[in-house]
Amino acid sequence: MYEKNWNAVEANHDESWGIAPYEARHFELRKGKVVPESSLITGSIASDVDYITQCVMKIIDSNRQLFTTAPVTELGSPKGKLGIKLSKAGVCFIRCLRMDLDHIVNKYPSIETYNRYFGIFCKAVMRDIEFEEDRAPFVLFAKEEWLAYRDWETCSNGMLTRIVSHLNTVVDEIRREGHSEAFRDWKGRLLRQPNENEERLWSLVLACLSVNHHINVLRVDLGYAQYYCDRELSGENAIEYPDVRAHRIALRRFLKRDLKKYVKNPAACRGMAFAIKMEFGLDKTYHFHVIVILNGDVVGQDASVAQAICDYWQEVITGGKGGAYNCNRAIYTDCGIGSIRYHDEEKLDNLKTIVVPYVTKVDYYVSMTKPEGHRSFWMSHPPKIEAKRRGRKRGKGVVTNEAATKRRSVTM
Residues 246 and 340 in one domain: yes
Q: At 9, which amino acid appears?
A: V
Q: What is residue 154's predicted lDDT score, i.e. its pLDDT?
A: 61
Residues 104 and 207 in one domain: no
Residue with the larger pLDDT of the pair 147 and 313: 313
Which residue, among 304, 279, 292, 377, has the nearest Cα to 337 in the 3D structure? 292
Instruction: Grade residue 73 by pLDDT with cuts at 50, 70 and 90.
Output: confident
Residues 218 and 346 in one domain: yes
Residue 410 domain-assigned? Answer: no
Q: How many domains does the chain have?
A: 2
62-71 burial, b at 16+ Cβ within 10 Å, e below that, comes to: eeebbbbbee
Residues 150 and 244 in one domain: no
Instruction: Grade residue 388 by pLDDT with cuts at 50, 70 and 90.
Output: low
Query: Does the structure show a pLDDT above 80 at 59?
Result: yes
Residues 265 and 303 in one domain: yes
* Per-residue pLDDT tens digits for 219-261: 999 999 999 999 999 999 999 999 999 999 999 999 999 998 8
- Identify the domain boundary among 128, 149, 179: 179
Q: What is residue 14's predicted lDDT score, i.e. its pLDDT?
A: 45
Residue 392 domain-assigned? Answer: no
Residue with the larger pLDDT of the pair 1 and 112: 112
Residues 168 and 260 in one domain: no
Asked whether the beta carbons of 222 and 251 are under 8 A apart, the reply is yes
**Residues 266, 271, 273: CA angle, nearest 5 degrees:** 100
Residues 169 and 197 in one domain: no
Residue 218 domain-assigned? Answer: yes
* Per-residue pLDDT tens digits for 331-340: 999 999 999 9
Q: What is residue 271's predicted lDDT score, i.e. its pLDDT?
A: 87
Tally of residues, the chain = 412
Query: Does the structure show a pLDDT above 70 at 153?
Result: no
Residues 174 and 240 in one domain: no
Residues 166 and 195 in one domain: no
Q: What is residue 74's predicted lDDT score, i.e. its pLDDT?
A: 72
Over residues 86-105, the mean pLDDT reads 94
Residues 86 and 216 in one domain: no
* Per-residue pLDDT tens digits for 9-28: 444 544 557 899 999 899 99
Asked whether the beta carbons of 101 and 109 are under 8 A apart, the reply is no
Query: Does the structure show a pLDDT above 80 at 322?
Result: yes
Residue 402 domain-assigned? Answer: no
Tell me the DSSP string of 174-202. HHHHHTSHHHHHHHHHHHHHHHHHHHHHH
Which residue, among 6, 166, 195, 175, has the nearest Cα to 86 in the 3D structure? 6
Q: What is residue 1's predicted lDDT score, i.e. its pLDDT?
A: 36
Pairing of strands 134-137, 273-281: unpaired
Report the alpha-carbon distance of residue 108 to residue 400 in Å, rounded: 78
Q: What is residue 82's predicted lDDT score, i.e. its pLDDT?
A: 83
Residue 390 domain-assigned? Answer: no
Residue 362 domain-assigned? Answer: yes
Q: What is residue 13's predicted lDDT score, i.e. its pLDDT?
A: 47
Residues 41 and 67 in one domain: yes
Q: What is residue 149's predicted lDDT score, i.e. its pLDDT?
A: 66
- Identify the domain boundary among 122, 157, 179: 179
Instruction: Grade residue 116 by pLDDT with cuts at 50, 70 and 90.
Output: very high
Asked whether the beta carbons of 74 and 81 are under 8 A apart, the reply is no
Which residue, among 331, 327, 329, has the nearest Cα to 219 in the 3D structure? 327
| Residues linked to residue 287 through DSSP beta bridges, in sequence order | 279
Residues 263 and 348 in one domain: yes
CA atoms within 13 A of residue 74's CA, in its CB half-sphere = 13
- Identify the domain boundary among 179, 211, 237: 179
Question: If you count DSSP H runs as helices and E runs as strands, how many of each does the chain have, helices first?
Answer: 17, 13
pLDDT mean across residues, the chain? 87
Phi, psi of 265 (to 5 degrees): -120, 115
pLDDT > 70: what percent of the chain?
87
- Residue range(s) defining the domain that contains residue 83: 2-179
Residue 184 domain-assigned? Answer: no
Q: What is residue 3's predicted lDDT score, i.e. its pLDDT?
A: 41
Burial of residue 378 (number of CB atoms within 10 Å: 0-12, 13-18, 19+): middle
* Per-residue pLDDT tens digits for 290-304: 999 999 888 878 999
- Contacts with 117 (C-beta within 8 Å, 6 or more apart), sequence order: 52, 53, 56, 57
Q: What is residue 301's predicted lDDT score, i.e. its pLDDT?
A: 85
Write down the pTM of the prediction.
0.86
Residue 399 domain-assigned? Answer: no
